[in-house]
Structure 1
Amino acid sequence: IKFFEHTMWIAGAMDRIGIHQDELWDEEDGFFYDVLQLPDGNSTRLKVRSLVGLLSLMAVAVFPREAFDQLPRFKDRALKFIDRHPELVGNVHLPNQFGIRDRLMLSILNETKLRQVLTRMLDEGEFLSDYGIRSLSRFHQDNPYVFYHEGVEYKVGYVPGDSTSGMFGGNSNWRGPIWMPVNLLLLRALLQLYSYYGDDFKLEYPTGSGQQMTLFEITQCISERLVSIFTKDETGRRPVYGGAEKFQSDPHWRDLILFYEYFHGDDGSGIGASHQTGWTGCIARIIQALGYFTPETVLDTISPGELALYPE
């Protein structure tokens, strides 16, 4: 019950009933932003479209109807908490609406907000790269976010490759590149959502294309983009190696795949540490899932709460 209550308090801080400047959700943009609270008590949203807004997709749990009945004490306390704090839960998806197979879902995002966030994520002019989901929207390439404080200018722009700043040790994971472990978590969230909404929930993919897809189909398409970082294109070159001719054409090197720390947000080339196997190695699970999951295996999973991109 503690974790449920903490989740609700966090959800309320992110987006409670009414319009408030100190909450993360921006109704006009349909996206979550960081909020800076100033010493004078005022707050301002830092309107940088980044993974900060996409992380809300991962706060989802889908479970069978019987789960509540097996936890009567938890159910009773959770319902009482909801009754006491309607201002916290008014904008979240509570487990009181049945999805397919009579499943229940707790999610930070209700259906309206889910569609708004995904519309941005699936936009090729924003987060959707040919090689996966970027950590920062490409919108900021021509529209950098600028913030002034005490006469000093602070700017965040889209940096798809190596960092142009020495901040954070020159690490640019969150400034534009594709980061494999976060993509994996996003894929898992999409499958969780699909296990609740099923085939009736469709979105335009990519945004603006006019082509409607289910969340399962979208998961597959994003997975294929991630895998294409490492596979040969029609010219026989692997995006991961970019302009490194030794690795592109030398027969002794061209089939030895390196697991880079992150990948260029526009061309998929590997950047950062070249042996970041710990988290980039999860591409193996994504490849495995592409061959394992079908709509039926997801929809017929007995315990969707345990659904993950880790088929046995």
Structure 2
Amino acid sequence: MSGNSLGQFFRVTNFGESHGPAIGAVVDGCPPGLALTREDIQKELDRRRPGTSRHVTQRQETDQVEILSGIYEGVTTGTPIGLLIRNMDARSKDYGNILDTFRPGHADYTYWRKFGVRDPRGGGRSSARLTAPTVAAGAIAKAWLQQHAGVRIRGYMSQLGPTAIPFKSWDEVGENPFYAPNAEIVPELEAYMDSLRKDGDSIGARIEVVAESVPAGWGEPIYDRLDADIAHAMMGLNAVKGVSIGAGFDCVTQRGSEHGDELTPEGFLSNHAGGVLGGISSGQDITVSLAIKPTSSIRIERRSINRAGEPVQVQTLGRHDPCVGIRATPIAEALLAIVLMDHALRHRAQTGN
């Protein structure tokens, strides 16, 4: 099965299923000598793991990472880094009623049409459970980017369903389960989520992720553009249905006199381009916005078909995030880190810098 690896010089290969014995990743291409401990990776996984609040799935996974190879005495060796996360709280019986049916909006139908067989337990390979190895791999990229390039990557939720979240402070992002940059709005978000869970329904969200202090010059022209690779990686995140860089779709209503970021001897006067020009980083912050769709697994009955093509009613039981966007911020950060590290290494190999 192809399509499980991301990156060229810094390459992450993801493996496992939602209800299998374990999930994990192999990270190849990390340079030797990077100071890295298990705790550096674990702290990122703890930000993503399930069961951290009443607003997310109550599946109790500690997501304790095991480092199988590639790190010796606190530094990377330059060899492949093997990461393993064991599944401890899978409840496969919750999916017994969808063995022969397909959840609307989920990958059940397309996996079956492509492979002729599918793992219905928790969505199998298409489950958001598989984002945990991505976060673990992203922690390595974050550490290298910080130590060797001074790049900092962080994100936040800017909208939950119909509620826009005004940005107030980065300091407030890590102080609530929504990664909201404004604590004043958290009670409103909690009330909305409680109502949504009572209805058995789900909702979407918008996530912003920013890379600060990215040097100018990373990226390639035409087919390996930095922004194209960012969009490619972000669309690989479960439930993402839209990615924009900088002004994004707002550029449709902007005139050229407004959108084009003017330059002065002191630097750029604006950042509508989102830190990327012609596929190459400009030295400004790289800004990415993600549209996350509502969770497909809901308790409300929906019309679908079974494998025989007959009409059925589908109701998904089990433990699910009523808004997958709540835990998406650390994953988006990890994906941006992986892409940036890959391009940093490519740039170094190409130019000697």
The structure richer in strand per residue is 2
Structure with the bigger RCO (C-alpha within 8 Å, sep 6+) is 2
The structure richer in helix per residue is 1
TM-score, reference length from structure 2: 0.24
